[in-house]
Chains A and B, each alone.
Chain A
Amino acid sequence: MSILFKGRSKGASDTRVGYLQMLSAFFISHLRQALGSLGELWRQPAASLMTIAVLGLSITLPSTLYILVKNTEKISAGWDQASEISLFLKEDTSAARAQQLIARLNTWPEIDAVTFIPSDDALKEFQHLSGLGDAIAYLESNPLPDVVLVSPSEKHASPTAAGILLEKLKDQREVDIGKLDIEWLERLYALLDIARELVSLIGVLLFVSVVLIIGNTIRLNILSKRDEIIVMKLVGATDAFIHRPFMYTGFWYGLLGGLIAWFAVILILWWMDSSIQAFASLYQKEFNITGLSGNALLLMLGLSILLGLVGSMISVQRHVRDIEPQ
Chain B
Amino acid sequence: MIKFEQVSKTYPGGQRALSKVSFHIEPGEMAFLTGHSGAGKSTLLKLISIMERPSVGKVLINGHDLNNIKRRQIAYIRRDIGMIFQSPRLLDSKTVFDNVALPLIIEGYTRKETAKRVHAALDMVGLRDKARSMPMMLSGGEAQRVGIARAVVNKPPLLLADEPTGNLDPKLSMEIIRLFEDFNQAGVSVFVATHDLGLIARMKYRTLTLRNGQMITDGLSAEDEEAWQ
Binding site for B on A (CB under 8 A): 1-5, 8, 10-12, 15, 17, 21-22, 25-26, 29, 227-228, 230-239, 241, 324-326
User: How many angstroms between the C-alpha atoms of A239 and B79 in the bound complex?
Assistant: 14
Bound together, the chains give a CA A283 to CA B106 distance in angstroms of: 67
Binding site for A on B (CB under 8 A): 49, 51, 61-62, 64, 69, 72-73, 75-80, 83, 89-91, 102-103, 105-110, 113, 150, 157
Query: Least Cβ distance of B132 to chain A in Å?
Result: 19
Residue contact B150 to A3, C-beta cutoff 8 Å: no
Indicate which residue in B69, B75, B79 contacts A10 across the interface (CB closer than 8 Å).
Answer: B79
Check A237 against B73 for contact (C-beta < 8 Å). Answer: no
Partner pick for B79 among A2, A12, A22, A326, CB 8 A cutoff: A2
Leading 4 A-B pairs by shortest Cβ distance: A236-B79, A11-B107, A236-B78, A235-B103
Whether A232 touches B106, Cβ cut-off 8 Å, given contacts A2-B80, A4-B64, A5-B62, is yes
Per a CB cutoff under 8 Å, which of A228, A235, A239 touches B78? A235
Give the docked Cα–Cα distance between A2 and B12 (Å).
Answer: 32
Give, as a whole number of angstroms, the nearest-CB distance from A30 to chain B.
11
Residue of B nearest to A24 (CB): B110
Kindly count the residue-residue contacts between A and B in the assembled complex, taking CB atoms under 8 Å apart: 85
Check B103 against A5 for contact (C-beta < 8 Å).
Answer: no
Given contacts A3-B69, A4-B80, A8-B157, contact A238 B91 (CB under 8 A): no
Chain B proximity of A54: nearest CB distance (Å): 27
**Cβ of A4 and Cβ of B106 under 8 Å apart?**
no
The CA of A313 and the CA of B150, in the complex, are separated in Å by 30
Chain B residues positioned under 8 Å from A3 (CB to CB): 64, 69, 73, 76-77, 80
Contact (Cβ within 8 A) B80 A234:
no
B106 and A237 within 8 A (CB): yes
Q: What are 29 A-B contacts defined by CB distance under 8 Å?
A: A2-B76, A3-B73, A3-B80, A4-B61, A4-B62, A4-B157, A5-B80, A10-B107, A12-B107, A17-B110, A21-B110, A29-B105, A227-B91, A230-B89, A232-B106, A233-B78, A234-B49, A234-B78, A234-B83, A235-B102, A236-B77, A236-B78, A236-B79, A236-B103, A236-B106, A236-B107, A238-B72, A238-B76, A241-B75
Point out the residues of chain A lying under 8 angstroms from B110, CB to CB.
12, 15, 17, 21, 25
Distance (whole angstroms) from the CB of A118 to the closest CB of chain B: 89
- Closest chain B residue, CB of each to CB of A11: B107
Query: Shortest beta-carbon distance, B47 to chain A, in Å?
Result: 13
In the complex formed, the residue of B with least CB distance to A26 is B108
Given contacts A5-B80, A11-B109, list 17 more A-B pairs with CB under 8 A: A3-B77, A4-B157, A11-B107, A12-B113, A15-B110, A21-B110, A26-B108, A29-B105, A227-B89, A227-B91, A231-B91, A232-B106, A233-B78, A235-B78, A236-B107, A239-B72, A239-B75
Q: Are B108 and A25 in contact (CB under 8 A)?
A: yes
Contacts of A10 in B (CB 8 A): 79, 107
In the bound complex, do residue B75 and residue A233 qualify as a contact, i.e. CB atoms below 8 Å apart?
yes
Q: Is the CB of A5 within 8 A of B75?
A: no
The listed residue with most B CB atoms (<10 A of its CB), out of A21, A235, A241, A325, is A235
Which A-chain residue is minimally distant from B51 (CB atoms)? A325
Instruction: Using CB atoms, name the residue of chain B closest to A33.
Output: B105
Given the interface pairs A2-B79, A2-B80, A237-B75, the reply to whether A231 lies near B89 with Cβ below 8 Å is yes
CB distance from A228 to the nearest CB of B (A): 6
Closest to B83 in A: A234
Among B62, B79, B90, B107, max chain A CB count under 10 A is at B79
